[in-house]
Amino acid sequence: MNRRLRAARKRTAALATSLSLLAYGTALAATAGVAADVATASPADAAAAAESSPALTPPMGYNNYYVTLCKGTLTEADVKRTADLMVSQGLTAAGYQYVNLDDCWQAQERDSSGNLAPDPVRFPNGMKALADYVHSKGMKFGIYSSAGIKTCGGLPASFNHEQQDADQFASWGVDYLKYDNCGNDGIDVYPRFKAMGEALKATGRPIVYSICDGGENKPWKWTPRVGDLWRTTTDTGDNWQKVINRAHLNQRLAQYAGPGAWNDPDMLMVGRGRMTDTEYRTQFSLWSMMAAPLLMSTDLSKVSAASLETLRNTDVIAVDQDPLGKQGTVISNSGGLVVMSKPLHDGSRAVSLTNETDTTQTLTTTATAAGVPGAASYTVKDLWTKNISTSTGTISASVPSHGTVMYRITPAT
Ligand code: GLA
């Protein structure tokens, strides 16, 4: 890492630490009176995450799961093509960084040395060569395993092989591990996930550690903290009800998020084709308001121009990636009209107005309600239309059914 990069990283970490400590205070207040076994991350945890995590902002990238499921069809050529498309379609320029393989990349059995190995037919050149290819495109490479005997797809997993597999991943050049909870035989969850976290750290390679238990064991409450992000919900789908339900579940957990500690309501469905462009823009807006990982899972060789435009909205992405690392919160919710506010590092706020109902509705809030520092007037940028206007405090919009209007509100100087 060069000096400038190191200094920038240190500044982000310092900012992140102070913000995480603030978030911790809020978390404590919110959980006061809750049963003693419900622990939250300590200030030391938050500071450590902000200092040492390779994911100081929510990870952005691609995961093949919803495209191929575990059908055993994904090949190294597909992965390379996806990486190429991410570059040629301007997705890497917009911030997407990780090319992540989900379950079912593995051979049916470990190799003769007991190591995990890729399916020899679909990945004939092995994982190191594939990771090298992804790296040569300026991107990072992710892989999947499970804290059990078998993965969810019934393939060899990493329980009791944590260090061996972490070392194997590091030697391939893996930058991101999604770690599932299938095949666990009912063994205590925390030690199993902690073991892989420690094994990854022991490799000396920065590897983002993504916990995937479908939110079943509330990994956001584990202490000491384990993982850079954790799934908060079961699997989603290309369906409005599923996506909005994942949003609702994740919105409740804002207090646990911070740099190096992200709530993950599952992948972006944008581009898959069963929802409308309006609904996809809502998912993208809400995921960014919630500082969620932005992991695409659509066939990029078939994605529509409108979906690509959604995925490349750098104003919305900047809200997701804001270095303050605060998850936005719901400030009002009445009859399916939901307003969220997210503080940003420059003193501005992102505000989203989501209409979950079946008819067009007018949603209204104020700069004060959204927590924007008081001012005589505010600059209001619509992050989808790019229109810029001035307001003395009222924020209002007519929002189509299932739509979201998203603003960045800055006190005028
Ligand atoms: C679980 C996870 C999914 C995916 C599959 C793979 O269902 O929640 O995201 O990783 O396993 O088998």
Task: Give the chain's domain count.
Answer: 2
**Which range has the worst mean pLDDT, 51-55, 205-209, 251-255, 408-412?**
51-55
Residue of 45, 103, 180, 299 marked catalytic? 180
Q: Is residue 23 part of a domain?
A: no
Q: What is the mean pLDDT of the chain?
A: 92
Q: Are residues 307 and 333 located together in one domain of the fold?
A: no
Residue of 235, 277, 315, 382 marked catalytic? 235
**pLDDT for residue 25:** 32
Q: Is residue 143 part of a domain?
A: yes
Q: Are residues 352 and 371 located together in one domain of the fold?
A: yes
Q: Are residues 116 and 234 located together in one domain of the fold?
A: yes
> With 90 as the cut, is the pLDDT of residue 9 above it?
no
Q: Are residues 105 and 63 located together in one domain of the fold?
A: yes
Residue located nearest, by CA, to atom 8 of ligand 1: 235
Q: Is residue 4 part of a domain?
A: no
- What sign results for the dihedral spanned by CA atoms 248, 347, 59, 317? positive
Cα-to-centroid distance, 10 and ligand 1 (Å): 34
Give, in degrees to the nearest 5, the angle at Cα 107 between 101 and 108. Answer: 125
Domain CATH for 124? 3.20.20.70
- List, for residues 314-366, the tens digit of each pLDDT value: 999 999 999 999 999 999 999 999 999 999 999 999 999 999 999 999 999 99
What domain range is 358 assigned to? 329-411
**pLDDT for residue 37:** 32
**pLDDT for residue 413:** 81
> With 60 as the cut, is the pLDDT of residue 30 above it?
no
Domain end residue (candidates: 290, 320, 350):
320
Q: Are residues 337 and 281 located together in one domain of the fold?
A: no
Residue located nearest, by CA, to atom 9 of ligand 1: 235
Domain end residue (candidates: 320, 340, 366):
320
Cα-to-centroid distance, 103 and ligand 1 (Å): 7
Which of 67, 152, 179, 181 gets mutated to test ligand 1 (max ligand atoms within 8 A of its CB)? 152
Give, in degrees to the nearest 5, the angle at Cα 324 between 320 and 325. Answer: 50
Domain end residue (candidates: 261, 292, 320):
320
Which of 69, 74, 103, 178 gets mutated to test ligand 1 (max ligand atoms within 8 A of its CB)? 103
State how far the Cα of 381 lies from the Cα of 246, in Å rounded to an integer: 27
Mean local confidence (pLDDT), 300-312: 98
Mean local confidence (pLDDT), 34-58: 73
Q: Are residues 53 and 99 located together in one domain of the fold?
A: yes
- HEC sequence for 36-105: CCCCCCCHHHHHHHHHHCCCCCCCEEEECHHHHCCCCCCCHHHHHHHHHHHHHCCCCCCCCCEEECCCCC
Is residue 180 part of the annotated active site? The answer reads yes
Q: Is residue 2 part of a domain?
A: no
**Which range has the worst mean pLDDT, 10-14, 88-92, 221-225?**
10-14
Q: Are residues 129 and 270 located together in one domain of the fold?
A: yes
Q: Is residue 32 part of a domain?
A: no
Mean local confidence (pLDDT), 211-235: 97
Q: Are residues 212 and 259 located together in one domain of the fold?
A: yes
% pLDDT > 70, the chain: 90
**pLDDT for residue 27:** 34
State how far the Cα of 340 lies from the Cα of 354, in Å rounded to an integer: 8
Which of 106, 150, 180 gets mutated to test ligand 1 (max ligand atoms within 8 A of its CB)? 180
Ligand 1 pocket (Cβ < 6 Å) reads: 65, 70, 102-103, 151-153, 180, 212, 214, 235
Q: Are residues 313 and 385 located together in one domain of the fold?
A: no
Number of H helices, E strands in the chain: 11, 16
Is residue 78 part of the annotated active site? The answer reads no
Q: Are residues 120 and 237 located together in one domain of the fold?
A: yes
Domain CATH for 368? 2.60.40.1180
Q: Are residues 283 and 402 located together in one domain of the fold?
A: no
Q: Are residues 336 and 312 located together in one domain of the fold?
A: no
